[in-house]
Amino acid sequence: MLVNGEKQRTVAVMDRGFQYGDGVFETIEIHHSTPLFLAAHLARLVQGCQQLAMPQPDMGLIRREIAQLCLQVDNAVLKLIVTRGEGGRGYRQPEPLALTRVLSVHPLPSYPQAYYDTGIVARFCQTRLGLNPALAGIKHLNRLEQVMACAEWSDETVQEGLMLNLSQHVIEGTMTNLFYAKQNVLYTAPIVDCGVAGIMRAWIMTQSFPVVEQYFSAQTLREADEIFVCNAIIGIWGVRELAGRCYPIGHLTQKLQHALAGEKQKQVAYANI
């Protein structure tokens, strides 16, 4: 773990990331020592800093530290955190301001291959996503809604919970973005009032499939032809069961899974040129 470039495992208790959740983070897959979708992750980090009115960190320095950590592992997860730094008591930011950056490497989760091949079971959560356009899209450090939603179930046969906003629109999963297909068109919720603008979501929307961003209800989702969830670590998982109803792992889901596998190979090959 690197804290402001130094090998250590602690952060100051007065750091605003600890005190207030005042910061942003990225979770990046390392595949064969290559950080995947790195440019997209760092662009979202910069966007998050802008939305929180934080100075932009030294991105060249962050890239060098990422490269340093990636050399030490093959397949892993890299977590990058940037906070507003240390400050006294109170919400007003300190002057002068010195950002804190934390980079840590973790084992890649060993999810069953069946999640990828035959899909997962999902449920609807009761915890609602609050509406706040100022924070929508970014991965800020305040994740209490997701923590509360994940606490709603302990059944290990359920792998993901789907979250609605206060207007009863389905937005995303607790750790994923959500798509459904109907008559060969993909649909996903707009990320304008709440939710995370995921890296995998953005990549999917660049592929050669029609995608419509629009709000939809739980009932509309139940009537889908196929459903899948995605993020930068799990990739793409089909949903085989939701609220007691079963779904196939459809051809759009499978094509995107195949395309993503090829994209990862391409990024690794390019990094090793």
Catalytic residues: 27, 139, 172
Q: What is the pLDDT of residue 87?
A: 83
The reply to whether 84 and 202 lie within a common domain is: no
Q: Largest Cα–Cα distance in the chain? A: 56
Range of the domain at 81: 2-107
The answer to whether residue 273 is domain-embedded is no
Best CA proximity match to 158, nearest among 170, 174, 177: 174
The reply to whether 152 and 88 lie within a common domain is: no
Structure tokens at 81: 């955190």
Structure tokens at 41: 């992750």
Cα gap 173→14, rounded to integer Å: 32
The reply to whether 189 and 133 lie within a common domain is: yes
The answer to whether residue 237 is domain-embedded is yes
The answer to whether residue 192 is domain-embedded is yes
Across 78-96, b (16+ Cβ under 10 Å) vs e yields: bebbbbbbbbeeeeeeeee
The answer to whether residue 124 is domain-embedded is yes
The reply to whether 250 and 151 lie within a common domain is: yes
The strand ranges marked E within the chain are 2-3, 6-7, 23-31, 34-35, 76-83, 100-107, 120-129, 160-165, 170-173, 177-182, 185-188, 211-213, 226-231, 235-242, 245-246
Q: What is the pLDDT of residue 273?
A: 67
Q: What is the pLDDT of residue 27?
A: 98
CB 257 within 8 A of CB 205: no
The reply to whether 193 and 75 lie within a common domain is: no
The reply to whether 252 and 122 lie within a common domain is: yes
- How many domains would you assign to the chain? 2
The reply to whether 77 and 127 lie within a common domain is: no
CA distances to 3, 35, 201, 212, 235 from 104, rounded to whole Å, are 9, 13, 24, 36, 21
Cα gap 168→246, rounded to integer Å: 22
The answer to whether residue 272 is domain-embedded is no
Q: How many other C-beta atoms can be found within 10 angstroms of the C-beta atom of residue 213?
A: 12
The reply to whether 66 and 123 lie within a common domain is: no
The reply to whether 155 and 102 lie within a common domain is: no
The answer to whether residue 94 is domain-embedded is yes
The domain spanning residue 163 has which CATH number? Answer: 3.20.10.10
The reply to whether 181 and 196 lie within a common domain is: yes
Q: What is the pLDDT of residue 129?
A: 98
* Residue 76 β-bridge partners: 30, 107
Q: Which of 107, 132, 155 is the last residue of a domain?
A: 107
Cα gap 174→156, rounded to integer Å: 15
The answer to whether residue 174 is domain-embedded is yes
The reply to whether 52 and 173 lie within a common domain is: no
> 10-residue block means of pLDDT along the chain (273 residues)?
91 93 97 97 98 96 96 96 90 90 96 97 98 97 97 96 98 99 98 98 96 98 98 98 95 98 95 74
As a whole number of Å, the CA-based R_g of the chain is 19
Q: What is the pLDDT of residue 93?
A: 87
The domain spanning residue 11 has which CATH number? Answer: 3.30.470.10
The reply to whether 233 and 151 lie within a common domain is: yes
CB 242 within 8 A of CB 222: yes
The answer to whether residue 271 is domain-embedded is no
Q: Which of 92, 107, 122 is the last residue of a domain?
A: 107
